[in-house]
Amino acid sequence: MLSVENLMVFFENALAVNDFSMSVGKGQIVGIIGSNSAGKTTLMNTLSGLILDMRLKERRKGGERITIYGKVLFQGKDITEVHPTERVKRGIVLCRERHPIFPESSILENLRIAGYLKKNAQVRETMDYVFQLFPALLSLRARKAGFLSGGEQQMLAIGMALIARPILLLLDEPLLGLSPMMQGMLVDAIKGLRSDSGITVVLSEQFARPVLPIIDHGYIIENGMLSLSGTGEELMDNPEVKAAYFGV
């Protein structure tokens, strides 16, 4: 479904992603694992197309030069220079790290706002699924999003991404800042996405322990470079991964 070929992303002379390649099959859950500043968010921004908007804004203000080499292919077509809005229409949706919500609006209003490109019937149908996936949001649906806990806001952010009805869902550090219990709830929900709807998921994380058991394939990224890849089970059994991410 998705293929990345020899991707390189420069911010001025700083190399953020260095000759990175990966592939994602339909219905898979694929993990991008790495520490802070490893290049995970730059990679996710490139997959979603947001890097193109960033590049355009920097050009307009005469700021930092952003250069992209390599290819991103989606369903066999080159989308390297395809605008992020068009990627959403094709089914690629990003839930960003610390995904922005509308704090003065209720959960229901946030979900409706996220569905502005979809028909009302589609939005209502997906909202029902979001509340099924995250039951905690149902009783809070009239509450302003700014009064939700961090975990509840993350549930809402993923729900907003789902309202766009993705074929490929990109989750950038969905577990960041959450308690172990809330991390477990979100990991279960991500597993449910595939079993319930067949959505393909690519997620980036620095917390490898809760993620590796659910992924089909994983890529370890360090300083923008691919250092290791394998199935979730293979990575969990790898001594280097254990030492770096499990403290073993």
The model carries a pTM of 0.92
Residues counted in the chain? 248
- How do beta strands 29-33 and 200-205 pair? parallel
DSSP state of 119: -
Q: Left (φ > 0), alpha (ψ -120 to 50) or beta: where does 223 sit?
A: left
Count of alpha carbons within 13 angstroms of residue 61, beta-carbon side: 8
Give the whole-angstrom CA distance, residue 211 versus residue 203. Answer: 9
**Which pLDDT tens digits describe the chain residue by residue (248 residues)?**
999 999 999 998 899 999 999 999 999 999 999 988 889 999 999 999 999 999 999 999 888 899 999 999 999 999 999 999 999 999 999 998 777 889 999 999 999 988 877 788 888 888 999 999 898 899 999 999 999 988 889 999 999 999 988 999 999 999 888 888 888 888 988 888 888 888 999 999 988 889 999 999 999 999 999 999 999 999 988 888 888 877 55
CA distance linking residue 86 with residue 134, whole number of Å: 28
Q: To 10 degrees, what angle do helices 40-48 and 50-60 make?
A: 90
